[in-house]
Structure 1
Amino acid sequence: MALLFSTLGISAAWAEGSTKPVTEQLVDTLTQLSGGPHPGFRSNHAKGIVVEGHFTPAASAAEITKAEIFTQSHPVVVRYSNATGVPNIADNDGNAFPKGMAIRFQLPEDASADLVTISVNDFPAATPEEFLGLLQAVAASSNSQAKPKPVETFLSQHPAALRFVTTPKLLPESFATQPFFGVNAFKFTNAQGQSRYGRYRIEPVDGSKFVSADSAKAVDGDYLMHELPQRLQQGAYRYRISVQLAEAGDEVNNATVIWPESRQVVELGTLTIDKFRTDGAAFEKTVMFSPLNLVEGIEASNDPILLARPAAYSVSFSRRLQ
């Protein structure tokens, strides 16, 4: 498995002593790693596709949260994406992982709430500073003759990052057959005032399906983007949205800590996707999904990565609109 971004031939970019906020440095480094800037595109997850559908709540959702997005039916807009800021990265490129899935629940009076997930139940860094260190080490290794290279040194000192970049990333048959995970925890509160921390899970109702290793090398570079509109011509597909609940003592503020599979999982409802959005390219340019675009009944944890994400997204968004 290729290391994250490591095959991109980009010059090193280490802004030592930079006075910029870490979130802005993250966007700068992601842009450099992608060979950018690429006007009009995100600094990460640049290549994407947009679909629409609706959410139907499960009765069990009310046990966990009073949030209207999970206790009522709502239309949704969903954007799938490949990792990196490379607008034309091949769907089967090792650097195009993790895949992304961002969901916007469309609420009355033009209100909304967002859910932002990736295709692996893991994250390489516990803080924005640590994530920046990883990206800068990758950038510094591009033309480095050092042995070990900066990224190798970084990974040897950060086990979570090493686990993330070396875990096999399976190629899905379709975005419709790919499970997604919320790597950051949120605090869910029900109508009785009871609160639990949890992380999202989004699983295809018809099961997860992946391309074999041999077949993955031969698929078209845009196969995911082409397959989805064709699939929707044949009918809708569905996901089950659930929340995996933390138990006492579980770490809720560190995205690198994976909870045991034995933790309780409660179904929130069904997400049905039934329409390809033909104006998706124009739509996605003018929309910023934010994991902190929340409603009552859901609160952010104190996870530093979660709290930094909207600020980094805002930097990328403002540049995208220029």
Structure 2
Amino acid sequence: MSQFPTGAATPASIVDALKTETGHSPNVRASFAKGRCVRGTYIPSDQAEEITRSLSFTRPSRVLARFSVGGGNPKVADADNLVLRGFSFRLGDVDQRSDILTQSAPVHYARTLDQMLAFLKARIPGPDGRPDLENVKAFSVANPETLHQANYIAAHPPPGSFAGTTYWGVHSFPATNSRDETRFIKFKIVPVGGSVTLTEDEAKMKPADFLHEDLENRIPAREIRFSVMALLDRPGDPTMDVTIRWPNEDRREAVRLGTIVITRIEPNEACDAFMFDPANLAEGIGHPPDEIFAARHAACTISFAKRR
């Protein structure tokens, strides 16, 4: 197989490749299959309207959210330090809703849909149940930007709690405020109580579902709060390539849009009954211009139909 994109990718082929890579688990999400549905509230800050006029972010609302562990295996161990953690949430009222999908790394693993399909195909297991490591290595050499996400994960300790993990929206979102001024932002969801991490030895000792058990222990004490931050763009920031970060992204200006407080566990059926649709954004937050985002709505719709 060529190590270079061929132009054959579609949202349907991406979903099929995701399912093939992880063994075609039936009735589960193609990605971030293992998760826990939760409920909470959103309280906007007095600075939110400076960034966006979206009523999802400038008005208080209930929140439906889902914490998750990356990959398509619904039985993956929570301590697996090679996969992402996810946090998807829905803000706003019925006609002013926004769905925001975030993850525990600030970049995606592919720049284009073709590259994403080639990345997944390179990792599809062979007859022995394992991917061809030489094929994976050859693809990575030919497409070095696809290693940025894995390198970020490898450079950071495993999360010790969903509540103590920082999450990013990897896309550049055009945000328009009440003065009709538009600029790009990136979402960063920061735990109010600080980061909670594990050493590799500690992670090895954890039970398979420890992140989920930790949620159940923290929620009664109201210990799960996140600041919803908007990282502000600067001239020349890359807005089309989700495999790279904005320059000095960790040290640039950010505005707190509001606070999410998780208040209770919900039955997973409450989140499984619909999909967190990245294209569902209330006016004032626009669709990012990159190719990956453009395909995500269709891919989510296809995956949702398959698991229904």
Partner of 1:300: helix, strand, or coil? Answer: coil
C-alpha distance after superposition, 1:136-156 (max 9, x if no partner): 111167759999711101111
Partner of 1:80: helix, strand, or coil? Answer: strand
Q: Establish whether residue 101 from structure 1 lines up as the match of residue 87 from structure 2.
A: yes
Partner of 1:210: helix, strand, or coil? Answer: coil
Match runs of 1:151-190 below 5 Å? 151-167=136-152, 168=154, 169-190=156-177
Partner of 1:149: helix, strand, or coil? Answer: helix
For 1:144 and 1:237, the matched residues in 2 are separated by 39
2:143 maps to amino acid? H
Partner of 1:55: helix, strand, or coil? Answer: strand
Partner of 2:111: helix, strand, or coil? Answer: coil
For 1:45 and 1:191, the matched residues in 2 are separated by 35
For residue 257 of structure 2, the aligned residue among 263, 268, 285 is 268
For 1:46 and 1:227, the matched residues in 2 are separated by 19
Q: Establish whether residue 126 from structure 1 lines up as the match of residue 115 from structure 2.
A: no
Partner of 1:117: helix, strand, or coil? Answer: strand
- In structure 1, the residue matched to 2:233 is 246
Match runs of 1:77-96 below 5 Å? 77-95=64-82
Q: Establish whether residue 63 from structure 1 lines up as the match of residue 50 from structure 2.
A: yes
2:260 maps to amino acid? L
1:318 maps to amino acid? A
* Inter-CA distance 60–156: structure 2 relative to 1 (3 Å threshold): same
2:13 maps to amino acid? Q
- In structure 2, the residue matched to 1:5 is none
2:65–2:271: 8 Å Cα contact kept in structure 1? no
Tell me the CA shift for residue 112 of structure 1: 2.5
* Inter-CA distance 99–145: structure 2 relative to 1 (3 Å threshold): closer
2:302 maps to amino acid? V
Tell me the CA shift for residue 234 of structure 1: 2.5
2:148–2:243: 8 Å Cα contact kept in structure 1? no
In the TM superposition, structure 1's runs of 4+ consecutive aligned residues that sit over 6 Å from their partners are 16-19, 144-148
For 2:126 and 2:148, the matched residues in 1 are separated by 19
Partner of 1:120: helix, strand, or coil? Answer: coil
Q: What is the aligned length?
A: 302
2:255 maps to amino acid? V
Gaps of 5+ in 1: 1-11
Tell me the CA shift for residue 302 of structure 1: 1.1
Q: Establish whether residue 24 from structure 1 lines up as the match of residue 12 from structure 2.
A: yes
Q: RMSD between aligned alpha carbons?
A: 2.4
Partner of 2:16: helix, strand, or coil? Answer: helix
* Inter-CA distance 144–241: structure 2 relative to 1 (3 Å threshold): closer
1:239 maps to amino acid? F
Gaps of 5+ in 2: none
* Inter-CA distance 149–267: structure 2 relative to 1 (3 Å threshold): same
2:7–2:114: 8 Å Cα contact kept in structure 1? no
Tell me the CA shift for residue 170 of structure 1: 2.7
For 1:148 and 1:212, the matched residues in 2 are separated by 27
Match runs of 1:138-217 below 5 Å? 138-139=123-124, 149-167=134-152, 168=154, 169-217=156-204
2:290 maps to amino acid? D
Match runs of 1:24-63 below 5 Å? 24-36=12-24, 38-63=25-50
- In structure 2, the residue matched to 1:306 is 293
Q: Which moved more, 1:260-269 or 1:144-153?
A: 144-153
- In structure 2, the residue matched to 1:112 is 97
Q: Which moved more, 1:224-233 or 1:187-196?
A: 224-233
Partner of 1:88: helix, strand, or coil? Answer: coil
* Inter-CA distance 193–17: structure 2 relative to 1 (3 Å threshold): closer
1:247–1:263: 8 Å Cα contact kept in structure 2? no
For 1:320 and 1:131, the matched residues in 2 are separated by 22
1:74–1:107: 8 Å Cα contact kept in structure 2? yes
C-alpha distance after superposition, 1:91-126 (max 9, x if no partner): 11234x2111100114046x5320110011111111
TM-score, with length taken from structure 1: 0.88
C-alpha distance after superposition, 1:48-88 (max 9, x if no partner): 00111111111111111101011110000110111111111
Q: Which moved more, 1:43-52 or 1:168-177?
A: 168-177
* Inter-CA distance 209–99: structure 2 relative to 1 (3 Å threshold): same
C-alpha distance after superposition, 1:120-178 (max 9, x if no partner): 11111111111111111111677599997111011111222123223315322210001
For 2:151 and 2:126, the matched residues in 1 are separated by 17
1:122–1:257: 8 Å Cα contact kept in structure 2? yes
* Inter-CA distance 51–72: structure 2 relative to 1 (3 Å threshold): same
How many percent of aligned residue pairs carry the same amino acid?
Answer: 30
Partner of 1:201: helix, strand, or coil? Answer: strand
Partner of 1:187: helix, strand, or coil? Answer: strand
- In structure 1, the residue matched to 2:307 is 320
Partner of 1:31: helix, strand, or coil? Answer: helix
Q: Establish whether residue 135 from structure 1 lines up as the match of residue 124 from structure 2.
A: no
C-alpha distance after superposition, 1:203-245 (max 9, x if no partner): 0011111011210111011101111012112334211001111
